[in-house]
Amino acid sequence: MLKFTSYWQNYAHTLGWAPTAEQIDQFELLYELVLAENQRQNLTRITAVADFWEKHLWDSLFPVVPFFEEYQANSQLIDLGSGAGFPGLPLAIACPHWQITLLDSKHKKIAFVQSAIRQLGLTNAKTVCSRAEVHQGKYHLITIRAVGSVPLCWSYAKPLLAKNGIAILYRGHITEAEMVGIKDHLESVRNYHTPLTHSQRNCLYLHL
């Protein structure tokens, strides 16, 4: 049996979305690619099957699932500070009708993501290694995970948002102090727990 099949079968209802058989194959391949690259550079400490599924796949997708049907073909998403490709690569697999840019400043990680895009057959994803290469006011959705403080993340995202666009900040715990300066842009906060370890998560949804 494929490594993640039972997790998708048992917990897809917690996500509100289920992958096709082809997408499951792509998630499996992504896992194998990350494991192989981890032998050459430190991409992630999360390598056990259950942990990878929950913390890199489910966790990447959950905050964005509400937009899967709302946003039309060729909607532009950029993943800032993508690192090893999360959440950008899982989103590119889940949303083949979107155009997804994965940005990171580390050349070795971007090289891995470029290779993964090619091997996964993702025609809707591309990488950039500098914010100078992206267009201000272009992106309908921006994802930012594990990059820095809330104000810092918002300062990166704000110039890139299109009119009516949404920036999604992936967080663990949030303090009141972190919210200072962004409340006028805060559309909503989503509090939830992951399905396997019941870890607390918070997502901030920000607009211009």
- How confident is the model over 108-156, as pLDDT tens digits? 999 999 999 999 999 999 999 987 788 899 999 999 997 888 999 999 9
Residues 6+ apart with CB under 8 A from 39: none
C-alpha distance from residue 50 to each of 21, 46, 165, 179 (Å): 19, 9, 33, 32
Report pTM: 0.95
Q: Residue 5's Cα: distance from chain center in Å? A: 21
Buried b (16+ CB within 10 A) or exposed e, 187-200: eeeeeeebbbeeee
pLDDT at residue 76 tops 90: yes
CATH number of 18-206: 3.40.50.150
From the list 198, 195, 190, the residue with the least C-alpha distance to 171 is: 190
- Give yes or no for a contact between 3 and 187, defined as CB atoms under 8 angstroms apart: no
Determine the average pLDDT of the residues in 177-200: 93
- How confident is the model over 27-36, as pLDDT tens digits? 999 999 999 9
Structural domain boundaries in the chain: 18-206
Q: How confident is the model at residue 2 (pLDDT cuts 50, 70, 90)?
A: confident
C-alpha distance from residue 19 to each of 9, 31, 61, 165, 196 (Å): 10, 15, 11, 25, 18
